[in-house]
Structure 1
Amino acid sequence: MCEMKKIKFIDVGFKDHDDVILKDISMEISLGYIYTIIGPSGAGKSTFIKLINRLIDPTEGKILIDDKNIKDYDIIKLRRRIGMVFQQPYLFEGTVEDNIKYGSMIRGQKDTDLDYYLSMVGLDKSYSSRKVDDLSGGEAQRISIARSLANEPTVLLLDEPTSALDPASTQVIEDLVMELKNKLNLTIIWITHNMEQAKRVGDFTIFINNGRLIEYGNTKAFFSNPKNDLTRLFINGKLTKEGIE
């Protein structure tokens, strides 16, 4: 997996026992952009991104990375290239240094340039010795991102990383992620419930509702001129998990 250029979903579905979580997802993600994913709670957004680094596997269809089935890649190598940051920053007990070094260790690197990865998330080297329990929510999320970066990913999956943060910390994370995309040529796939955030950070936007892909495309066109009536209803706050208000 020296290089990744595209991720393709072909008729992808996922069932949890008898519950259909995703159905008939077909689309292509080109690398080097930020994709924001929107949709009501329970629409299947988190399931969608979990499929990309094989936290779960499709029960229908297939996912291709550069025309090769995702299941044919070594799962450890795959996860080195496709990092994930969750809504709550799950850091290990200990120091910031311990956490960032873990990212390097996964890819077999013994030495970690802590100053470099801290600087990449806008923190100075004094943070390396701090206990993770002493970090603010925004700082902890930045360390979570730094740990993922230490694994040198090509794709970074973000599952609502700012939903528990205050507006100032949210702005820091947004600016950071957009800067990282440009500096490292990262592909970012970002779930958000914040419509304005999706507009601000996304190059492309994906709308999922009731487990189905309703619409996706260029973010500016997506919000200014949605093609699907359900998209228009959701953007205008008239569509929820329960249906049309």
Structure 2
Amino acid sequence: MSVRGLRNAHAGPFTVDVPRGECLVVAGMSGAGKSVLLRMIADLDPHQGLVALDGVACADMPAHQWRRRVLYLPAEPGWWSDIVLDHVSDDTATRALLDRLGLRESVLRTPVHRLSTGERQRLALVRGLLRGPCVLLLDEPCSALDDATTRKVEALLRDLKAQGLALVLVSHDQAQADRMADRRRYMTSGRFTEDAA
């Protein structure tokens, strides 16, 4: 994925490349604009500049197709139904992801409002991965997880990265950044301020 001059009235311009099979970690204080960056890349917020995937610009692709390929997972996932099976199917692929992420199969029949924050975060990741994205934009995906469960999420993400998935990970966890990053950017007041390889 290639980002060139991406900006809006509140943040940017941003220029960065995230090749397939790599993870860009974006860090910075709360309110620095990290989520705004992810939402612009996902074409969810108005913006100027260029975002392209495999040489195809976001502007040249129908929005629903772009958002399927370049998938944004917010820190607090949204649910349009309290029934989990309205969001995911009860099939082999779903159960395999549940197992990888340490989720019991009974979550499929538990109302969303009865799941813990960490269970909802992982279930949102399952829901997103089942769509087969090329780029995953993750906003604090492990903020409600203990260390052992965080390591399960990271192991799955590393495996997907090895299969060619590109990741943009917003994280306040320095240890997680050290484990996951191929590239790093630090953000202050809506701008990249440091560039560490």
Q: TM-score, normalised by structure 2?
A: 0.85
Q: CA deviation at 1:144?
A: 0.6
Deviations 1:191-235 (A, max 9, x none): 0112222112212111222222223343xxxxxxxxxxxxxxxxx
- Which range moves more in the overlay, 112-121 or 38-47? 112-121
Q: Does 1:76 align with 2:64?
A: yes
- What residue in structure 1 maps to residue 125 of structure 2? 145
Measured in 1, the distance between the counterparts of 2:79 and 2:149 equals 18
Q: CA deviation at 1:27?
A: 2.1
Q: How does 1:222-233 map to 2 (within 5 A)?
A: none
- What residue in structure 2 maps to residue 97 of structure 1? 85
**Consecutive aligned runs of 4 or more in structure 1 exceeding 6 Å deviation:** none
RMSD over aligned CA atoms reads 2.5
The change in CA–CA distance for 1:138 and 1:176 in structure 2 (over 3 A counts) is farther
- What residue in structure 1 maps to residue 6 of structure 2? 12
Kept in 2, the 8 Å contact 1:114–1:125? The answer is no
Q: Does 1:199 align with 2:167?
A: no
Q: Does 1:55 align with 2:35?
A: no
Measured in 2, the distance between the counterparts of 1:147 and 1:115 equals 11
Measured in 2, the distance between the counterparts of 1:11 and 1:217 equals 19
- What residue in structure 2 maps to residue 240 of structure 1? none
Measured in 1, the distance between the counterparts of 2:169 and 2:156 equals 13
Amino acid at match of 2:15: S
Amino acid at match of 2:69: R
Q: How does 1:99-138 map to 2 (within 5 A)?
A: 99-101=87-89, 113-138=93-118
User: Gapped runs of 5+ residues in structure 1?
Assistant: 1-6, 16-20, 102-110, 219-245
Measured in 2, the distance between the counterparts of 1:113 and 1:9 equals 32
Q: CA deviation at 1:49?
A: 1.0
User: Gapped runs of 5+ residues in structure 2?
Assistant: none
The change in CA–CA distance for 1:120 and 1:164 in structure 2 (over 3 A counts) is closer
The change in CA–CA distance for 1:43 and 1:146 in structure 2 (over 3 A counts) is same
Q: CA deviation at 1:34?
A: 1.4
Q: CA deviation at 1:127?
A: 3.3
Measured in 2, the distance between the counterparts of 1:179 and 1:213 equals 28
Measured in 2, the distance between the counterparts of 1:12 and 1:133 equals 36
Measured in 1, the distance between the counterparts of 2:80 and 2:152 equals 23
The change in CA–CA distance for 1:211 and 1:86 in structure 2 (over 3 A counts) is same
Q: Does 1:186 align with 2:160?
A: no
- Of structures 1 and 2, the larger Rg is shown by 1
Q: TM-score, normalised by structure 1?
A: 0.70
Amino acid at match of 2:36: T
- 1:23 aligns with one of 12, 24, 28: 12
